[in-house]
Amino acid sequence: MNHVIIGNSAAGVSAAETIRVIDRSSPITIISDELHTFYSKSLIPDFISGKASLEKTYLRTDTFYKEMDINTLFGEKVDKVYPGKNTLALSSGQEIEYGKLLVATGAGPRVSVDIDTGIENFFTARTIEDAQAVKEAALQARRATVIGAGLIGLKLAAALNSLGLEVTVLGKYEILLPRVMDSTAGEILREVFEGNGVNVLTGVKVSRVSSDGVRLSDGQYVASDMVVMAAGVKPNIDMLEGTEVEIGGGIVADSQMRTNLEDIYAAGDVVEDIDFLGGGRRFINPIWPKAVLQGRIAGSNMAGIKRNFPGSMMMNSVQFFDTPLISVGIVLHEGCDYHEEVIRYNKKEKVYKKLIFEKDRLKGAIFLGEIDKAGVITNLIREQRDIAPIKERLLSKSFGYGNILKVPVADRAWIV
């Protein structure tokens, strides 16, 4: 079986490694439109701020592909997939055959604003090349504007702030991190950013980006020397245009990460997930651990060992300045019935914790300022265990795994 993987990031590499463990001889080819070896896209803000060098973003050694006997076609763009022929065409004109194909092309920034033509100080930050350009521009700039107050937007804003730029963040919604925080947490976060010298403008709409600033729909003008766009993502699926592969918000795949076509799989940010916590919500869930896991599931199934993806749920973790935060599962009530919540808020310490329940099942959690032991909660959400016996202890000061001994989770062979 000839395995071809488009995409050289978390899902693609995870799939390749999984296939190689199961199948020592079948050819594996990874195609990427970038030239770099496997690097961490999640580290791009750290790369911009200088916290991570280029070398530090690399996740495998130079000899990795050779050692794993993986063919690489780097700097090659896939123009089109021909499912009927089991081939794909590269922009260089080359045609590649595949036995099984994995589309792990990820998602790129959505550019949904009007931009003056020909301006050179407007950026996105999907790839390390993009990041390099942002980095260079930041050396000349005094003021930077980041469009988007989601995770990537805020990470980029913090990175540019750390480089000494006067940064303004523009958010479409009233709160920061609208997908993962509630209004209280969002307000604390706003204080954190403002306290560190970042201007935060929320509930604003961008009407036009020019070379010397950003015009907002309410008439405000935010003067800036550079603008970075980070408001939402869209899956990279151009190469599937005209095929029968079912596309929703992203590629639709089953629990074995197979598309509606026999030999084509998809994994990572390119996939449209269904939130297994309920509500039937379909979404792009661009997070690293999910991409690694989907890659592993896809790879395993491509190599003939059946494995199922247990389901996708939102989660993210980040630290802004001195404030760490973690958000897991369903944290917003809109359109949901999960109205039961427990909140601990220490204003003085800027510590905010919130759990969201549906009866005796945990559905979501927010940890801000203090995140220790959050993983225990994450696992309770992931496994949807009945937490009735320990419900009132979940946010106690001494909460930890010890508290969930009564709850039958995970393997406990290590307990005598």
Partner 1 sequence: MKEIFIDIGRCVGCKSCELACRVEHSRSKNLFAALSESPLPRRRVFVEYGDGKKVPLQCRHCCEAPCVDACISGAMKWDSETNLVVHDREICVGCWMCVMVCPFGVIGREKDSRVAIKCDRCYERDEPACVEACPTGALLFTTLEETEKLRRGRLVKAL
Closest separation between CB of residue 234 and partner 1, Å? 21
**Residue 224 or residue 327: which is nearer to partner 1 going by CB?**
327
Read off the tokens for 411: 């393997």
Closest separation between CB of residue 224 and partner 1, Å? 27
CA–CA gap between residue 171 and residue 193 (Å, rounded) = 13
Spacing of C-alpha 149 from chain mean position: 14
Closest separation between CB of residue 359 and partner 1, Å? 21
Contact residues toward partner 1 (CB under 8 A) are 40, 42-43, 46, 51-52, 56, 58-60, 288-289, 292-293, 296, 315-319, 324, 326, 328, 371-376, 378-379, 390, 393, 398-406, 409-410, 413-416
Q: Contact 275/281 with Cβ under 8 angstroms?
A: yes
Closest separation between CB of residue 214 and partner 1, Å? 29
**Residue 51 or residue 359: which is nearer to partner 1 going by CB?**
51
- 218 burial class (0-12, 13-18, 19+ CB within 10 angstroms)? exposed
Q: Are strands 28-32 and 3-6 parallel, antiparallel or unpaired?
A: parallel
Between the alpha carbon of residue 189 and those of residues 31, 192, 301, the distances in Å are 39, 5, 42
**Residue 144 or residue 159: which is nearer to partner 1 going by CB?**
159
CA–CA gap between residue 40 and residue 58 (Å, rounded) = 6
**Residue 259 or residue 327: which is nearer to partner 1 going by CB?**
327
Closest separation between CB of residue 313 and partner 1, Å? 11
**Residue 80 or residue 307: which is nearer to partner 1 going by CB?**
307
β-sheet bridge partners, residue 234: 108
Closest separation between CB of residue 400 and partner 1, Å? 4
For residue 35, which phi and psi values (nearest 5 degrees)? -95, -15
**Residue 111 or residue 409: which is nearer to partner 1 going by CB?**
409
Amino acid at position 247, single letter: I
Give DSSP secondary structure letters for 55-72: HHHB-S-TTHHHHTTEEE
**Residue 281 or residue 373: which is nearer to partner 1 going by CB?**
373
Q: Write down the H helix ranges in 58-123.
A: 64-67
Closest separation between CB of residue 54 and partner 1, Å? 13
